[in-house]
């Protein structure tokens, strides 16, 4: 396990190796390591016993979905860690934003059941009713994670000043809600305009930026981290893509069983997401990555990785090959 964690500062880190070596506790191990690596426990006098309890409960709350599972969350935490450490983000944020960023990453899919927001709304699921159809997944992940955090045995923030706790909670909420793909284009647009214009001077520090723009930085960061496998080694990326396809097919199976029309890319009898990756890369992933690298040139190493995986899918499609 120690040998695996020695590679955690690199984007090429293989989270499946961590899954194996951590004996099925990748989320706990990765998040604990990231908190230590960034000095957060000492910086904020965090209760380390309650942090362990919190992470244990959060990990156990993740279902065994093909894609939205504890290993995916560990992968997102590691991606956030690398963006902070090597991607240029760290020099623009304070330790408080670092804490909020890693916490948001660790809870952003808490109790995910493998269904997207559209399905939850169409089926009048309790999560949709509770959220008034607005980001039902993300709203549930947040509310339930915050309930865990408020449990006396899990509240590792209890020694922090109240104002800091309030700020962390608000930032975590804003970040996790940003992972709803319905918000994607709006956030990318804001990154291109509001933030890029404000941070054109490389000497600008985030401490000098107003809170709305500071929040936007962190929303962009978690969106980059949430699709981090798009920048992974191709073999790792393909595994995640196949897992996502299977999870979507399972939703399609459920839709068919309920007598509903099967959603696009979710019908097992038709092409799935592994046959349409080229469009996703060019229409969704690359605009986000380009906007992010415009803000943080230190993250430019991600673009060749993204392009390599996009080229893989383009070649596969041209050759008519399975992934």
* Buried-exposed string 132-167: b where 16+ CB fall within 10 A, e elsewhere: ebebbbbbbbbebbeebbeeeebbbbeebeeeebeb
Q: Report how far residue 106's alpha carbon sits from residue 31's, in angstroms, rounded to the nearest whole number.
A: 7
Q: Active-site positions?
A: 68
Burial classification of residue 118, based on how many CB atoms lie within 10 Å of its CB (0-12 exposed, 13-18 middle, 19 or more buried): middle
Half-sphere exposure of 315 (CA within 13 A, CB side): 7
Q: Per the structure block, which two tokens stand in for 77? A: 């935490």
Q: Per the structure block, which two tokens stand in for 220? A: 């962009």
Q: Report how far residue 29's alpha carbon sits from residue 22's, in angstroms, rounded to the nearest whole number.
A: 7
Q: Report how far residue 172's alpha carbon sits from residue 174's, in angstroms, rounded to the nearest whole number.
A: 6
Q: Per the structure block, which two tokens stand in for 222? A: 């978690």
Smallest CA-to-CA distance from 142 within 176, 118, 113, 116 is with 176
Query: Which spans in 86-161 are helix H?
Result: 95-107, 117-122, 126-130, 136-150
């Amino acid at each position: 396990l120690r040998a695996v964690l020695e590679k955690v500062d690199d984007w090429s880190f293989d989270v499946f190796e961590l899954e194996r070596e951590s004996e099925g506790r990748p989320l706990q191990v990765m998040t604990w390591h990231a908190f230590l690596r960034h000095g957060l426990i000492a910086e904020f006098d965090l209760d380390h016993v309650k942090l362990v309890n919190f992470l244990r409960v959060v990990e156990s709350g993740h279902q065994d979905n093909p894609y939205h599972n504890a290993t995916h969350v560990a992968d997102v935490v590691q991606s956030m860690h690398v963006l902070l450490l090597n991607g240029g983000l760290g020099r623009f944020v304070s330790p408080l934003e670092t804490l909020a960023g890693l916490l948001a990453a660790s809870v952003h899919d808490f109790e995910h059941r493998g269904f997207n927001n559209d399905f939850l709304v169409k089926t009048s699921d309790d999560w949709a009713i509770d959220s008034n159809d607005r980001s039902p997944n993300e709203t549930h992940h947040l509310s339930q994670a915050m309930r865990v955090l408020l449990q006396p045995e899990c509240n590792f923030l209890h020694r922090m000043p109240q104002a800091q706790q309030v700020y962390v909670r608000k930032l975590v909420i804003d970040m996790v809600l940003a992972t709803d793909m319905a918000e994607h284009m709006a956030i990318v647009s804001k990154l291109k305009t509001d933030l890029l214009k404000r941070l054109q001077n490389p000497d600008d520090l985030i401490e000098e930026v107003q809170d709305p723009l500071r929040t936007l930085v962190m929303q962009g960061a978690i969106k980059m981290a949430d699709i981090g496998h798009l920048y992974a080694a191709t073999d790792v990326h393909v595994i995640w893509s196949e897992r996502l396809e299977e999870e979507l097919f399972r939703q399609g199976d459920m839709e068919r069983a309920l007598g509903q029309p099967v959603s696009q890319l979710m019908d097992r009898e038709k092409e799935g997401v592994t046959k349409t990756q080229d469009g996703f890369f060019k229409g969704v992933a690359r605009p986000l990555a380009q906007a992010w690298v415009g803000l943080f040139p230190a993250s430019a190493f991600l673009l060749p990785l993204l392009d390599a995986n996009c080229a893989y899918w383009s070649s596969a499609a041209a050759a008519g090959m399975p992934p």
